[in-house]
Amino acid sequence: MYKVVTKRFLNDAKTICLFEIEAPYIARHARAGQFVIFRLDEQGERVPVSVAGYDREKGTVTVMVQAAGRTTKMLHTVEQGDYISDIAGPLGKATEMEGLKKVCVVGGGVGCAIAYPIAKEMHERGIEVTFIAGFRSADIVILKDELREVSDKLIICTDDGSYGKKGFTTVFLKQEIESNIIWSRPQFDRVIAIGPDIMMKFLADVTRPYGISTIISLDPIMVDGTGMCGCCRVIVGGETKFACVDGPDFDAHQVDFDSLIKRAAFYKEEQDEAAKHICHMTGGKRNG
């Protein structure tokens, strides 16, 4: 059993919640870009979430979770001092940062929670970080202060202009690339984009003509998280990869976004159907 030592909602809409959980082994080994899989109880669904932080001395790991399906909504009802059944990890490969000097990190919605520890580790290593954080509206903006602390330049934008600049991350990414070109050479060594699949697809389209290395972190449906079930497969450079062991980071210019988006839509329909199902064993709904 793993104790929740801190719980706090990160936005006014209370859609994203931070949990700091006692898990000394994970805390000792976790790196930015990796993820964990948790279960609320022994019969529970296995849900992957990115590592948003860790405290090696305290032995705690932090995750930031959006209430999207049934299990994540149930997690939001877990209180400080409560226990969850399992948390396994760290899983996946850590984000590669070697040799980078100037990076633009782009987060969309809850993707900012995943991008934050990456930007933080880069900042600590002396890499210059421009962070573009995009949200639908002011009530779901998260981590304003934390992002400011780890960024040399921070741009927050909302689709409706209710907080920060009005517009999409793609527009501001293009602006930043254009204003950082010297002698016809873009100055960003890398763009790291994390958010909805469709946003990452369009961000990849922005960076492609400039030839800027672009990495995205994928978050497909996962089951075992060990490369056994094949559930998290994605097509990268024409080859099948498993996000849980080969990723979650991949070269955005090599990812087959169309098949990724189609697959996610298929699972979304399945999940919506499952959410309607009343389980006669428990009297409750399953999945969703």
Which among 223, 257, 261 has a CA at the least distance from the CA of 242? 223
The correct pick among 30, 40, 192, 244 for binding ligand FES (CB under 6 A) is 244
Stretch that binds ligand FES, among 10-18, 58-66, 110-118, 221-229 (CB under 6 A): 221-229
> With binding defined as CB under 6 A, does residue 242 bind ligand FES?
yes
> With binding defined as CB under 6 A, does residue 240 bind ligand FES?
no
| 279: Cα separation from own chain's centroid | 31
> With binding defined as CB under 6 A, does residue 222 bind ligand FES?
yes
Stretch that binds ligand FES, among 1-9, 74-82, 228-236, 257-265 (CB under 6 A): 228-236
- Cβ within 8 Å of residue 243, ≥6 positions away: 92, 218, 219, 220, 222, 232, 233, 234, 250
The correct pick among 198, 228, 265, 275 for binding ligand FES (CB under 6 A) is 228
Question: How does DSSP assign 188-229, residue by residue?
Answer: -SEEEEES-HHHHHHHHHHHGGGT-EEEEE-----SSSSSSS
User: Rounded to an integer, what distance in angstroms lies between the CA atom of residue 167 and that of residue 148?
Assistant: 19
Q: Least distance in Å: CB of 236 to ligand FES?
A: 14
Q: Least distance in Å: CB of 255 to ligand FES?
A: 16
Q: Least distance in Å: CB of 233 to ligand FES?
A: 7
**Residues of the shown chain interacting with ligand FES in the complex, contacts defined by CB under 6 A:** 222-225, 227-232, 242, 244
